[in-house]
Amino acid sequence: MHLLKLLPGHVLEAVAGYLLIIVANLSVALYVLSLSLSLALSLCLFLAYTHRELLQQRGIGRSQMSAGDKCVSIHPSYQASIRLLTEEQDYFGKGHICSGALVAPSVVLTVAQCLYNSAKRSYYHPAELRVALGNSQRFAPSAQGLVYGVTHIYQSPKQRSLAILMLEQDVPSAETQTRIQPIALPLANAVAAQQPSDTWLVSSWGTAGYEQQQQQLHDLLNLPVNQTQCEQPQQLCVLYAEQVQQSQLALDTGATLTAENSLLGLRSESQSTFVDVASHVDWIQECIGDGTNQNSSIWGMLGLLVFTVYVLKCSRKSFFA
């Protein structure tokens, strides 16, 4: 106070003026900050509401089952989502048509019926398909997720029920990432028999609810199952927990059935019926070789060559017409 009395009057007035300016600026800054926070909160609420409405319009929902309801919370590193490119261009996840399993660096295994276009009565061309890996949520891309094109499809012989998709490139090795890794094939023609200590797991997306109120599931389900007897050869049959049976779940075609990091089966005809992979192993290994992109690239180049010859023939006909 004594120092202030020693200062000239005009200096005191200048200091007071500066203090008033600082206080005024702080008040404006606080007002702008509170207004920005209010706007941000309002925008978040609006986006949340809009997102919820959008999910409802698209028929997207979450499973009502929790880990305590016989649903295991894991992310299978081999799980593949097979998608149609034309549908996928609308929004991520819309093009999903079935599930599959990564069994080698550039090889995805699924059931043959997954790739059949019933409207055109023909199988999809490789260029029409995309394979999404590393995403446990169907409609939300993961930062570690990858999407690959397909260069070739091995159609199964009449007595077989599986199909092989060759990817455009190998997935990164375990040395660089662990989010996406192949699952092992069983021994050829091995007879699958569940022991009391064995855990068999079915992983799938799919739908939930009754026919008129069905919703496409956003989260990947992992369901423990028990083996039951099958009437047909080259099949594995399972029994779900009572909670699953009552929940109106409809699993994907191609849903994976696994045990101890081995692919036992892929869902085919019904909810509880899976194609026995062991009975197809000889054919699979014959087709994929070492399972790397080298095989896939050869087929891709051959396909491009055939397409080029076809285009040249069409062009020649048009030129001389």
161 or 59: which carries more pLDDT confidence? 161
Question: Which pLDDT does position 48 carry in this prediction?
Answer: 46
Query: In this model, does residue 131 exceed pLDDT 80?
Result: yes
pLDDT tier, 196 (very low <50, low <70, confident <90, very high otherwise): confident
From CA 154, how far away is CA 109, in angstroms rounded?
A: 10
Query: In this model, does residue 25 exceed pLDDT 90?
Result: no
Question: Which pLDDT does position 211 carry in this prediction?
Answer: 62
Both tokens of residue 244?
């699953």
Q: Which residue has the tokens 């009754």?
A: 210
C-beta of residue 281 within 8 angstroms of C-beta of residue 203: no
Say how many CA atoms lie within 13 Å of 170 toward its Cβ.
14
Q: Smallest Cα–Cα separation from 110: which of 308, 298, 280?
A: 280
From CA 148, how far away is CA 162, in angstroms rounded?
A: 20
Specify the DSSP class assigned to residue 186.
P
φ, ψ at 33 (rounded to 5°): -65, -45
SS3 226: strand
Question: Which pLDDT does position 206 carry in this prediction?
Answer: 83
Question: Which pLDDT does position 207 carry in this prediction?
Answer: 82
Cβ count near 271 (within 10 Å): 17
Q: pLDDT, tens digit, for every residue of 74-94? A: 679 999 999 999 999 999 999
C-beta of residue 256 within 8 angstroms of C-beta of residue 266: yes
Question: Which pLDDT does position 160 carry in this prediction?
Answer: 72
φ, ψ at 154 (rounded to 5°): -90, 110
Question: Which pLDDT does position 195 carry in this prediction?
Answer: 86
71 or 273: which carries more pLDDT confidence? 273
Q: What average pLDDT is seen over the chain?
A: 80
pLDDT tier, 67 (very low <50, low <70, confident <90, very high otherwise): very low
**Which H or E run includes 87?**
helix 85-88
Question: Which pLDDT does position 21 carry in this prediction?
Answer: 78
C-beta of residue 115 within 8 angstroms of C-beta of residue 163: yes
Query: In this model, does residue 37 exceed pLDDT 60?
Result: yes
Range with lowest mean pLDDT among 214-228, 255-269, 270-284:
214-228
pLDDT tier, 45 (very low <50, low <70, confident <90, very high otherwise): low
Question: Which pLDDT does position 214 carry in this prediction?
Answer: 67
From CA 194, how far away is CA 203, in angstroms rounded?
A: 17
Both tokens of residue 319?
């030129």
Range with lowest mean pLDDT among 98-107, 245-254, 270-279:
245-254
Task: Kindly state the percentage of the chain with pLDDT values over 90.
Answer: 42
Question: Which pLDDT does position 114 carry in this prediction?
Answer: 92
